[in-house]
Amino acid sequence: MTDITQALAEIVGEGYVSDQPEEAYFYARDPGLMPAHEPDYVVVPKTAEEIQKVVRLANRDKIPIVPMGAGMALTGLVIPLKGGIVIDMKRMTGILAINEKARLVIVEGGISQGLLKAYLEKNYPKLRHSIPDSPATATIAANVMIHGQGRLSQQYGFNSDMVAGLEVVLPSGEICKIGSCSISPDWFSKGAPMPDLSGLFLGWFGATGIITKVALKLYPKKKMRDVEIFITDMEEIVPDIVHELTYTEMVEDITVFAQPLPMIFRDNHHITIFFTGDTDTELEFKRKMVWDALDRFIKSKDGGFMGVPPVMKPTLLDSPQRSVTRFADVKKGGGFEYSGPIILVEKYPECSRKIRELAEKYDLGYSGMARIIGRGHCMMYGFAFTFNRADPDMMERTRKALHEVSEYALEAGGVFWKPTVNEQKMALDKMDPNTRNLMGMIKKNIDPNGIMNPGNWEVN
């Protein structure tokens, strides 16, 4: 056992530290396409204080630190590019407080989406949080850190917009509270009416600190949910359809997808519309509002509601939607990756054309999928490709296609979501110089030794 390993063991306990190749192998990679790089150590702390001590140790010896949730981002954000210590947050799964009337919950930094969902369903059936369509093991903290989106994003924006406070271990080792909780016992706002310091951490992928607690806004959970799918063969009118739908204020979530397989989906764009109600009357009222909003497209024969058979509904209403994993295995071999720029909804047609062009050029299976954020303020458009992990040529073609997506996304006015390190560099290159300098100043001041997830958001 090295001195560092021994020191880490003294902090977290011997059973929760490793410098062995078995752990190094697994913590060197994520399920995406980025090349692996092994850490030197892995620790699994139980408390913020343990993290604090690990960070102080790392800072003293200038050892890189990479905080990790479930490692589901696919873009290599938790791959320890410069080795060092991976801090696996999975033991910090506490639900610390819940305020039913204010619809707020405070959780620890390693709790998964699935665990919080199950807890709320059991104890607070009228409350819910915005669940992304990632596997249920994905963590709350990592998801808000990457500005994830979920089932309520059409109504309330990015999942990071639903944060009501943070506790963060700074690179210097201090434990810092962000938001109302910094001066009040109550966690209800991440910033307002004070300066909003959450922006120093959200979106930084752990390069400025480690989130150890999150206060999250919860939302009403109605007794019933239903889904309708509006289809059109005209990609040009998808933005208009979304505009009409968001105007109704009746919809929980809107996603759009287009893919060539299975045959039922070929040739069309599918606008999937989720809505909720406490009674049949409420549900039917919303359904009628939604149908009426799109009636002009039905009349012009440019689109229509497909019949959603009862057997299909459980899959669609699943939250998170596990059907994504089936898509991931279309080519067999379980490979799946997507680049998902955040971009204006009006760019849907050109994104749609681009993915078809790339799929044809590189001979890849694809799905173009979008999630509407806010009332049509923007969308995440996922350029998703599926590949066989046992086929190096197919993996290389996927890499090339995704690289072209990155270049295209920037040209089209998009902003990378959970960007790879290469995409971060592309974004920094294109960024307004003053903004880039500001980011550099923040990073340099908050993490002078550059130990926090090095390689990410590095302004040179």
Partner 1 sequence: MDKENCLGWLKGGKMYALNFDENLCTTCPTGDCLVKCQYMDVEKDTAVEEMVKISRGEDSFVFKDCVTCYGCEEYCKRGNHPFYLITERREEKGILTSPRAITKQWINIGEPQGKYRLGKVKEKVLSFGFMPEFLKWVRGRLFEDVMPSFIFGQEFFCNVVYIHFANTSIIKERLPMVVDNFKKLGVKEVVFIHDECYGAFAHLAPAYGIKVPFKSIHYFEYLYKRLQELKDEIRPLNIKVAYQRPCSSRLSSDKHHFVADIMELIGVDLVEREYQGENALCCGGIFSMCFGYDLANDVQKRNIDDMAANGAEYCVFNCPACQSTLGEKVAKRGIKPVHMIDICRMAIGEK
> Whole-angstrom Cα distance, residue 203 to residue 241?
30
Q: Binding marks (x or -) toward partner 1, 148..177, rule CB under 8 A?
A: ------------------------------
280 vs 411, beta carbon nearer partner 1: 280
Please list the alpha-helical segments (H only) found in 294-384: 295-299, 313-317, 323-328, 348-362
Q: Among residue numbers 216 through 235, which ones bind partner 1 (CB under 8 A)? A: 231-233
H/E run at residue 164: strand 163-169
Of 102, 34, 40, 43, give the one whose Cα is nearest residue 67: 43
For the CA atoms of 65, 71, 75, 76, the dihedral, rounded to the nearest 10 degrees, stands at: 30
Q: Which of 224, 264, 317, 390 binds partner 1 (CB under 8 A)?
A: 264
Q: Which of 49, 121, 295, 329 binds partner 1 (CB under 8 A)?
A: 295
CB of 267 to partner 1, least distance (A): 5
Q: Which of 62, 223, 288, 322 binds partner 1 (CB under 8 A)?
A: 288
Q: Which of 306, 412, 427, 446 binds partner 1 (CB under 8 A)?
A: 306
User: Is residue 398 near partner 1 by the rule CB under 8 A?
Assistant: no
27 vs 297, beta carbon nearer partner 1: 297
User: Is residue 292 near partner 1 by the rule CB under 8 A?
Assistant: yes
> Whole-angstrom Cα distance, residue 132 to residue 138?
9
H/E run at residue 293: helix 280-293
Ramachandran assignment for 314, one of left (phi > 0), alpha (psi -120 to 50 degrees), beta (any other): alpha
195 vs 309, beta carbon nearer partner 1: 309
User: Is residue 122 near partner 1 by the rule CB under 8 A?
Assistant: no
Find the part of the chain contacting partner 1 (CB under 8 A) among 93-101, 160-168, 280-288, 402-410: 280-288
Please list the alpha-helical segments (H only) found in 40-167: 48-61, 113-123, 140-145, 153-156
Binding-site size, partner 1 (CB under 8 A): 28
Of 155, 272, 273, 278, give the one whose Cα is nearest residue 221: 278
User: Is residue 303 near partner 1 by the rule CB under 8 A?
Assistant: yes
> Whole-angstrom Cα distance, residue 286 to residue 280?
10
User: Is residue 307 near partner 1 by the rule CB under 8 A?
Assistant: yes
User: Is residue 314 near partner 1 by the rule CB under 8 A?
Assistant: no
- Look up residue 373 and give its two tokens: 């954020």
**Contact yes or no for 364/387 (Cβ under 8 A):** yes
Find the part of the chain contacting partner 1 (CB under 8 A) among 213-221, 309-317, 407-415, 422-430: 309-317
193 vs 310, beta carbon nearer partner 1: 310
CB of 226 to partner 1, least distance (A): 10
Q: Which letter, b or e, does each residue of 160-178 get, where b requires 16 or more Cβ atoms within 10 Å of its Cβ?
A: bbbbbbbbbbbbebebbbb
User: Is residue 309 near partner 1 by the rule CB under 8 A?
Assistant: yes
Find the part of the chain contacting partner 1 (CB under 8 A) among 63-71, 156-164, 259-267, 379-387: 259-267
Omega cis (within 30) before 193: yes
> Which residues would be at the binding site for partner 1 (CB under 8 A)?
231-233, 263-264, 266-269, 280, 287-288, 291-292, 295, 297-299, 301-307, 309-311
